[in-house]
Structure formats: structure tokens, C-alpha cells
Amino acid sequence: AQTVTQSQPEMSVQEAETVTLSCTYDTSESDYYLFWYKQPPSRQMILVIRQEAYKQQNATENRFSVNFQKAAKSFSLKISDSQLGDAAMYFCARGSEKLVFGKGTKLTVNP
């Protein structure tokens, strides 16, 4: 089975600090996408960032950046200058039309 693994069920960070969420995946495809989604208690899944596997350059969206290691099948998310509004469940996902999700990491931001 092609899986996505998030090894950290919960993480916490102080406001204004930096935190990194880990994700590893398994795939036999050569061309695929990777995503990080955020799900606050309001339950809507919000796209945070995406990475195309054929691109070597790591994606960046404002305070959010990824460390994509294709050979190691690793895709971590770094959140810089953490804000209270960043508190949520974060899901790593792989795919395109059909997304395979990890179990999620619950991020708490402490004031």
C-alpha cells in the first residue's frame, strides 16, 4: 500500500518560534504532488503548500516552507514566526486526483 506517515501525533511551539512537522511517504510513481493541509477546529481543510515532485526547488509560501528530499521520500513542513492562528491539525498528503493522507499532527501554539 502506498502510505503517508506523520510520526508526530502532537507538537507544540511558542508563539514567534519555528516548528518543523515531519512526513514520509511511499510511492512507486515518478511524477506526483505533495501537499500540506491545515484543518482548524472549524473543520475546513485549507491548502498550506504544495510541491511538485519533479521540481527540486523547495516550495515556500510566506512563513511556510518545505524540505523535500525525494530520494528519502521525506516532505517536512517548517512554520516560521508561529502565530496563534497556526494552531490546527496538519495533514501531509500525496497524489493528484486521489489524495492519500497521513494521520495528522496536532499543532498547539503557546502564547
Partner 1 sequence: KAGVTQTPRYLIKTRGQQVTLSCSPISGHRSVSWYQQTPGQGLQFLFEYFSETQRNKGNFPGRFSGRQFSNSRSEMNVSTLELGDSALYLCASRPSGRGAQHFGDGTRLSIL
Nearer to partner 1 among residue 32 and residue 76 (C-beta): 32
Nearer to partner 1 among residue 37 and residue 82 (C-beta): 37
Please report how close the Cβ of residue 91 comes to partner 1 at its closest, in angstroms.
Answer: 7
Sign of the dihedral defined by the CA atoms of residues 100, 20, 13, 17, in that order? negative
d(C-alpha 33, C-alpha 12), whole Å: 27
12: amino acid identity, one letter:
S
Residues engaged in binding partner 1 (CB under 8 A): 33, 35, 37, 42-47, 50, 52, 91, 93, 96-104
